[in-house]
Each structure stands twice: as C-alpha cells, then as structure tokens.
Chains A and B, each alone.
Chain A
Amino acid sequence: MKTTIPVEELVTSGHLACQGCGAALAMRYTLKALGPRTALTIPACCWSVIDGPFPYSSVKVPLFHTAFETAASMASGIKAGLTMVGKGDTTMVAWAGDGGTADIGIQALSGAAERNEDIIYVCYDNEAYMNTGIQRSSSTPIGAWTTTTPPPHHKKKPKKNVAEIMVAHHIPYVATGNVAYPEDWIKKVKKAKEIKGTRYMQILASCPPGWKIPADISVEVAKLAVETRIWILYEVENGEYKITRKVAKFVPVEEYLTKQGRFSHLTEEEIIEIQQNVDKEWDRMCRLAGIENKFADRL
C-alpha cells in the first residue's frame, strides 16, 4: 500500500500520553511532516507531561519547556537566537494546547503574529484544560460538560474561533486539522514549512478522559467531527479560504455529540441549537471559500 505519510518517527515510544490521546498523534504527524531540523517550545499543557519526566524525552528534536503564556514569545526569541548563531534554517514551532492559545497565551500569540515572526504556531485543541483535569477553556464548545462547567451550568457560549482571529492578523497561512485526517494535516504542515512568517495551525485532538469517550473510538469520534461539520478542515493562504475536506453527505451533529459523555446532559433543544450553529458556520465558510453550500436548504 502506498502511503503519503513519512516513515521517519521523531516521537518515540514510552511517552506519557493517555490511551487514545489525540495530542500524541498530532505531534507524531507534525514532526513526521517537519523532519529533524525543527525546534519546539512547549508551554504548560498536556505535552509538558507527555514528553516524559527529566531526564527522558520522547521527541528527537530540541525542546524548550516554557511558561504557560509564552509559547509565541519564547518561539520568537528562540528563532531570533538561532538566526543570530547561524542556525536560522531551523523550523521553529510553538506547540500549545487550547488554554495556552485561546486564553492565557493569546496576547503573546497576537503579538508574534502581528510582527509576522517566522514561526509555526500549532494549537492542539482538545477543547479544555485537560492536563489539569478537564476545566473549561474559551475553546470549550457550547454545551460541553467540564469540571468547571457542571450541568446545568454547562458551557453556554460558543467556542472562541482562534483560527479566524489569526486570519484577521493577515499572516500568510492559517489552517485547521484533525487527528483523524493525517494526510490532510501532513500536507498542510509541509506547506506551512515552506512559507516564511507566522503560520497558525489548529488541530482537533480528541481526548478520551476529557470527552468521556472510550479510548478505542478516539479517532472515530474525531472523524465524526469533520463528517458532521462541527469541525471544518480548511486553510487560509494569504487571505484565500479553501475547504480542504468538502462534506457531501449530511450527518447530524447528534451522532458526534451522543458518542461523548461530556454532552450527555444536552436536551433535544440544545442539540437543535448546536446543529443550527453548525449549519450557519458551514454556510459562512462556503461563502468565504467561494463554493456552493450543498446544505443550504437547512438554513
């Protein structure tokens, strides 16, 4: 069988991720795409732990652990330092969770993007503070249970759309990904590698303990996120939108939600509201990408 996924492994076995962890897959695919001439900086997030305790590490590229809100600023500094010591050809990656991106790190991220720092910023989005035990972040979707959004106080406001915030920074490349679509992701990461300037990439990383799903359906659930269109795979290159995975068949969002314990309290009305949000957002994205909305009759 022919595969487009590079064979080289830069994430080793022995890492500390939970069973079925989407974030571990995300790193594995990303480093496969980038190759060894890469440096990572990781703020507080699941990956601070997944990498392994001192003196172990499960990545074969240099990794500088950093404080929670500094992924983008630290990456800016490392890239400048590498450039001044003659190693500026290194691909510099800031690798942060959704809390470190959408919440505490958004100021540094916005600053780096506005300066168009020559870095790739990857947010692996598992939609809550999973490392600290499932507390809500601004990237937690509407309706979700977390330990700080217990029903009936489950999250009432939609997920912050950081990808769109990054598009508004006029950076050369913004893309979304999903751990169930490694080929789509690897293609995007390879494209990002060849672009200079700030590249923002956000990959949906399923989280069995946080989403309350069995580990063995982690990829299946992530896949349903794309099939139900609650997670859209797209890229924005110099302001041009392109949906990279067009959905032809209607799959109700309910199929995605009901597989996950974090949505088990939702009422029928709430599920209808989420479906309406999905339909509206898909329509908006189709317009931006200049393609026909095959589900326009649902609006």
Chain B
Amino acid sequence: MKKVVTGNHAVSFASKIARAQVVAAYPITPQTQVVERISKFVADGEMDAIFIKVESEHSALAAAIGASAAGARAFTATSSQGLALMHEMMHWCSYARCPVVIANINRALGPPWSIWTEQNDSLAQRDTGWIQYYCESNQDVLDSIIQAFKVSERVLVPSMVVLDSFFLSHTSEPVDFPDQDKVDEFLPPYKGEWVIDPDNPHTFGGLTGPDKYYELHYMLQQAHKDAEQVMDEVHKEYEKLFGRKYGRIEPFMADDAEVLLVVSGTPASTAKQAVIDARDEGFALGSVKIRVFRPFPRELVKEVCRGKKAVAVVDRNYSFGNQGIFFTEVRDAIYDLEPRVPVYSYITGLGGRDITAEDLVNIGKAAEKKECDNPTWWGVKL
C-alpha cells in the first residue's frame, strides 16, 4: 500500500514493521517525530515493544545494547549531537557484536547551532565498526531499515541507516508500505546465540589481554567482509519479495559516461537530474550513489570508475586538515586502476546549503577540465 509520508514516519513505520522489540530513544530535532510516533504505536498497542524513554542518547544506545545483548531486536534513532554523545557506546555495541539498528538523521554539529543536513555526524562514527547505509528517498529509508536488521542479525554487526535532515526527515514522499506478513517472511524473529541468559550464564566483555583482543577485531573485520555478500543476497531476496532493486552502490547512466559524479544521500537524486540535463547538452555525465558506506564497496567503486575520464566526488562533509571523506575513500579504492583515473574532490552543501542540479553539472564540467584544487570548496563565499 502506498502512503505519502515523511522520512521520519518512514523510520517509525519501518521499526514497527520490522517488529523491533525494544526501542530506547531521546528526542532531538529533526528526529523528534520518530520518538513521538513510536511512543504512540506502543501506547496504542500497535507495536509489541517496550519503549524506554531514556534521559540521554548515551543511555539510549546503552539500553538498546542491553536489550540486544539479552536477545531482543533493538532499535534507536537520533541525530547530530545525539549521535556524538552515543560515540562511546557505538564502539561498545559493535565490539559486543550486538545487532542494534540506528536511524540517524544527518544534521550539522554546532557551534554555531544548525539543524540542517550535513554528514559529519555519521561520518565521525566511521571507525566504530558499524555498517552504514546512506538513503536517497523515504522509500530507501523504509527498505534500508528492514534490510539492515536482517544483515545485522546475520553477521552480528550493528547498522546505521542515515537520512538527510529535512530533505528527507520532514519531506513527504510516496512510500510503498510492504505487507506485514511478507516482512515477517523476510525478517523472522531474532534468535541471538550469545545472549544474557540466566539459564546459560556467561560473562561478556571481561578484561582481555593483547593475546585475544587483536583476534576479536579481526573477527569483526571478517564480519564486515561477510556483510558484503550477505547484503547482495538480501538485496536479491528483497527484490524478489517486494519488487524493489537495491545495491551497495547504485550507478545511474554510468556505463557510457565519460565523467562520473560520486554522490550519497539526497544529492544522489539531484545527481540523476544533473545527468539528464548534461546529456541534453551532449555532455556524457553519469553518477553513482554510494548507498553502503561501511563496509566500503571498494571493488564495486573501482569497477564503476574504470576507464572514466574523470571522477568527481561530491562531499557534504569534511575531514578537517585533510579532504572530503567520501573522496579519500574513493581515491583509495581506485588508486591502482590502470590506466589511472583522475579523481577530484568537491565540498558542497555543508550546514544544509542547497546542492542544485546545476551545481552538479558544473562540478562535472570542472572535473572534465581538471579544474579542482583537491579539494575545491564549491561556491564558498569569501
């Protein structure tokens, strides 16, 4: 059934239809509608879950980890400052191998106060061991959350599903709501093998010396590797059941493109318009959306970039003292392509500034002419 809903409501419905059993969350703009809606689902008995209305995001993730460690399906949602506060527990969650799912609404960090979109909040969690999905539409949000639970529970790695502040969180779009019985078929109840259980007592997370800690991290990395294959299987199964096709990366008119835009989040949608506009002018532009940022789809990125005249990475984020974050990841992945593919870094849209189709066409043209300072701060007003 299709409904017109905001990204926030897509998040709430996804957590309900995925049958999350414990939700622990704390309100923050622009995520507040999520905690409101889930509160109502639980109060109305529409959702068989315990909602722990914690006093902070740090406690939200701690409680979600606890629920997951006890064998329940656990969910939380946050944004920006809230995610930053969770940071310590982000590590705790993945190292404890708890398959929690978080929806994070990308919002710029302060100061100065900002409520608009930017990816630095989620990208600052890059090295915490979580899977990360970046969503382009509200449909993508709903489907990604359902898929994320399945992938996370298979490989025991938590997932973060990321959506843009306001451009998705507060924008209504038509979203196809899958039937509950089909979702149940796709996503059976979570059966944790290593859980807190008085009938089978174990100690989790005790002091571990250098002789074992190292191997535990190797195993987490192997789980990320496994996640790539699991995602590919999950995407196929999802398409079969629900008719919607997803990939870890999603190219758009990339095969015959000479210049390729690499994008993520809602600019991926804008990039499609930019590609169409460029093609009308006879400029062979294409785009590729990186939907799954962790594990980073190195091989897929490498293949899609092979033979291009130029690759322009559009980052709505920045690693101060270095480069755009997707840029360094992409350049690293394609470094050993023969012949070498030039890759350029364009910083755009920080603090929620608009990224237009015109901007993206012009970025493509600049890359073609090798006009880039690696990075170029596109449209910076000085």
Residues of A in contact with B (beta carbons under 8 Å apart): 36-39, 41, 48-49, 51-57, 59-67, 69-70, 72-85, 87, 90, 107-108, 110-111, 114-115, 117
Contact = CB atoms under 8 A, between A and B. Distances in A.
Contacts, number: 172
A156 to B, nearest CB: 31
Contacts of A114: 55
Interface string B167-208: 000000000000000000000000000011111111111111
A117 to B, nearest CB: 8
A77 B66 contact: yes
B11 interface: no
B63 A76 contact: yes
B70 A54 contact: no
Contacts of B67: 77-78, 80-81, 84
A61 B58 contact: no
B201 A61 contact: yes
Contacts of A53: 206-209
Nearest to B202: A62
Contacts of B125: none
A257 B34 CA distance: 55
A87 B197 contact: yes
Contacts of B204: 62-65
A150 B66 CA distance: 39
Interface in B47-78: 49-50, 52-56, 58-60, 62-72, 74
A51 B206 contact: yes
B89 interface: yes
B92 interface: yes
Nearest to B197: A62
A62 B92 contact: no
A207 to B, nearest CB: 19
A65 B63 contact: no
Nearest to B69: A64
Contacts of B209: 53-54
A38 B198 contact: yes
Contacts of B200: 62
Give the secondary structure class of A's interface.
Answer: mixed
Contacts of A74: 62-63, 65-66
B206 A84 contact: no
A84 B68 CA distance: 10
B21 interface: yes
A38 B198 CA distance: 6
Contact of A87 (B198, B203, B207, B208): B198
B72 A84 contact: yes
A55 B50 CA distance: 33
A66 B61 CA distance: 12
Contacts of B314: none
Contacts of B62: 66-67, 70, 73-74, 77, 108
A36 B69 contact: no
A82 B54 contact: no
Contact of A64 (B22, B60, B66): B66
B71 A63 contact: no
B147 to A, nearest CB: 22
Contacts of B60: 73
B201 A62 contact: yes
B208 A54 contact: yes
B311 interface: no
Interface string B191-229: 000011111111111111100100000000000000000
B161 interface: no
Contacts of B63: 73-74, 76-77, 80
Contacts of A48: 206-207
A80 B56 contact: no
CB-based closest 6 A-B pairs = A77-B66, A81-B70, A111-B55, A77-B63, A81-B67, A73-B59
A84 B50 contact: yes
B205 A65 contact: yes
Given A80-B52, A115-B53, A64 B59 contact: no
A66 B92 contact: yes
A85 B88 contact: no
B42 to A, nearest CB: 12
From A72, A78, A81, A90, residue with most partner B Cβ within 10 Å: A81
22 contacts: A36-B198, A48-B206, A56-B206, A62-B202, A62-B204, A65-B204, A65-B205, A66-B205, A67-B92, A76-B59, A80-B50, A80-B52, A81-B22, A81-B68, A81-B74, A85-B70, A85-B72, A87-B198, A107-B55, A108-B55, A111-B54, A115-B52
Nearest to A51: B206
A80 B92 contact: no
A77 B198 contact: no
B196 A62 contact: yes
A90 B209 CA distance: 31
